[in-house]
Amino acid sequence: MNGATGKRYASSTDVARLAGVSQSAVSRTFKPGASVSHATRSKVLEAAAALGYRPSAIPRIMLTERSNLVALVTGGMDNPFYATVLERFTVRLQETGHQVLLVHADSGHMLDGAIPRLASYRVDAIVSALAILSPQAAAELSRLRIPVISFNTPIHNEWISAICCDNEAAGRAVADLFVARGARRCGFVAGPADSPASAERRQGFCARLAERGLPSPAQASGGFRYEGGFEAGLALLDAQHPPDAIFCANDLMALGVMDAARIRCGLRVPEDLMVAGFDGIPAADWAGYALTTCVQDAAVMIDQAVAILQRGLAADRAEGQEVIIVPAHLIERASTARATPALAGPGHAGTARPRPVRRRA
């Protein structure tokens, strides 16, 4: 509570009274570029400091219809990839002068369920690493008439743009790696059935295995969770003819598969079973796992999302959807490093930083 006024928050009227100026003079003092004399400004700032006054953003929001708030929708925080994206998104948005309103989605891979809460706030834009999966959700978001940028989302319209990892190409690269390392029977551990990213990774992986003359992989679902990967690994390895190489749609599931293979099945990785994941979370590089993975370049994806956001806010109207494809790059570690001839061809990515490819949908 403010000791000078007896109120929790001092008002511009309180400042004007203490400074001996008009309320409009207080407003002009805190309005960038407004005309106010040096003497008046000094008196207003001194009174404001004494009262602990801070100008409210509400009048500016009412006048400009801009809150300077960006809703950042997140979920699935058990996956370190999303935690990394959340932190980087927050930093980048604050660098561009925006404040972040954090909105939690119950799903770990889609933001559809958070839309009712989003509609309750006056935000300038919505960004999320979660996908938009239903046409109904896309239509509801469009009615807000603000820019929406989402990762790996298959549905777009005049207000919704997407930053997508090239999931199919990454799946093909893993297939090439497995074949080059001597795999003969492969498996795939999927995320949730309605995850477009998981489906694209599976599609690229299966198509490339077929092209290389290998049978379709045995498949199980792990729900993008470590525990799901552990159980899926046990199910695949309990088959009469178990796979000798398993590609998982994210790293958490791949870590679960590795632990299931080594702890419960007594297998050696990579001698008996090769494992690869997706995302590039920090644990993938831990010595106990040394997991081969396809890295989603979160920094590039976030930079592209912020650039789309700034263009949309500057235009103040629907500019047409954008879809930007960002390549993943394959990092091979010990989990696939069998003693076989060196890799050749498209299955092995170098260490150069990938360049995003823009496509107007």
pLDDT, tens digit, for every residue of 115-127? 776 666 778 888 8
More confident: 148 or 350:
148
Same domain, 268 and 218: yes
pTM, two decimal places: 0.76
- Asked if residue 191 belongs to a domain, the reply is yes
Residues 145 and 201 in one domain: no
Based on the domain organization, do 336 and 289 belong to the same domain? yes
Q: What is the pLDDT of residue 361?
A: 44
State whether 102 and 249 are in the same domain: no
The count of domains in the chain is 3
Q: What is the pLDDT of residue 224?
A: 94
Pair 26, 117 in one domain: no
Q: How much is the pLDDT for 54?
A: 72
Same domain (yes/no): 131, 148: yes
| CATH number for position 52 | 1.10.260.40
253 pLDDT band (50/70/90 cuts)?
A: very high
Mean pLDDT of the chain: 84
- Could you tell me if 64 and 70 are in contact, meaning their C-beta atoms sit under 8 angstroms apart? no
- HEC profile for 256-268? HHHHHHHHHCCCC
Q: What CA–CA distance (Å, rounded) separates 113 from 111?
A: 6
In this structure, the answer to whether residues 149 and 199 fall within a common structural domain is no
Do 136 and 173 belong to one domain? Answer: no
Do 146 and 29 fall into the same domain?
no
DSSP 291-321: -EEEEP-HHHHHHHHHHHHHHHHHHTS----
Residue 180 lies in a domain: yes
Q: Is residue 323 part of a domain?
A: no
pLDDT at position 239 is 94
Is the residue at 89 inside a domain?
yes
Whether residue 140 lies inside any domain: the answer is: yes
| Highest averaged pLDDT of the listed ranges 9-18, 142-151, 212-221, 296-305 | 212-221
Instruction: Please report the pLDDT score of residue 359 as a whole number.
Output: 47
Confidence of residue 356 (pLDDT cuts 50, 70, 90): very low
267 and 344: one domain?
yes
State the pLDDT confidence band at 346, using cuts at 50, 70 and 90: very low
Domain carrying residue 28: 12-56
Tell me the per-residue pLDDT of 10-53, one tens digit each, with 9 for 90 and over.
Answer: 888 888 999 999 988 888 887 767 788 989 989 998 998 888 88
* pLDDT tens digits, 52-63: 887 655 455 444
Shared domain for 44 and 146, answered yes or no, is: no
Pick 146 or 122 by higher pLDDT: 146
Asked if the structure places residue 3 within a domain, the reply is no
- Domain annotation covers residue 223: yes
Secondary-structure percent of the chain, ordered helix, strand, coil, rounded to 5? 40, 15, 40
Where residue 85 sits, what CATH number does that domain have? 3.40.50.2300
Cα–Cα distance, 162 to 154 (Å, whole number): 8
- Same structural domain, 212 and 260: yes
* Residue 136 covered by a domain: yes
Q: pLDDT for 286-317, tens place per residue?
A: 999 999 999 998 889 889 888 888 887 777 66
